[in-house]
Amino acid sequence: MTTGYTFSQLEINQTEEIIRTVSQQDIQMFADITGDNNPVHLDAEFAATTQFKKPIAHGMFGAGLISAVIGTKLPGPGCIYLDQELKFRAPIYIDSEITTRVTVVEKNERRRRVTLKTECLCEDKVVISGQATVMVND
């Protein structure tokens, strides 16, 4: 079994990330799983009538990428996700390369909690920003 970082192994400013290109298939599968069939994500003709001019990824798809970094890399397997704040700053377009980054910003020794800066970037522009709190065993 793979384990993540222990509380004592984590350091302030420690960072991990994943890079992924968002495909139309990703967006369709996300819509199928969640039931969020908003045409701004799935219908190019409809999306052309919006401010975005073409289909965009679900905001929560990006949030799912943040969860992937937290659950697999930092702190990684075994951590418990407690809280997440998100700000959706710009759209994620289909076929965009997304860098999802998580950084340790605070450690609470007494409660074994870690505060993480969370963000998704497209072409070095922050499209989703936020903060998460996780519980980490030692």
User: pLDDT tens-digit profile of 76-105?
Assistant: 999 999 999 999 999 999 999 999 999 999
Express each pLDDT in 8-34 by its tens digit.
999 999 999 999 999 999 999 999 999
| pLDDT reported for residue 2 | 61
| pLDDT reported for residue 136 | 94
The answer to whether 103 touches 66, Cβ cutoff 8 Å, is: no
CATH number at residue 131: 3.10.129.10
Which two tokens mark 16? Answer: 């991990």
In one-letter notation, the amino acid at residue 53 is K
How many domains are contained in the chain?
1
The answer to whether 134 touches 75, Cβ cutoff 8 Å, is: yes
Asked if the structure places residue 50 within a domain, the reply is no
Average pLDDT over residues 51-70: 97
Average pLDDT over residues 48-52: 97
**Cα–Cα dist 135/30, whole Å:** 27
Buried-state track 19-42, b at ≥16 Cβ within 10 A, e below 16: eeebeeebbeebbeeeeeeeebbb
Asked if the structure places residue 29 within a domain, the reply is no
Full domain range(s) for residue 114: 7-22+59-135
3 pLDDT more than 80:
no
User: Model-level pTM greater than 0.75?
Assistant: yes
| pLDDT reported for residue 27 | 97
Express each pLDDT in 108-132 by its tens digit.
999 999 999 999 999 999 999 999 9
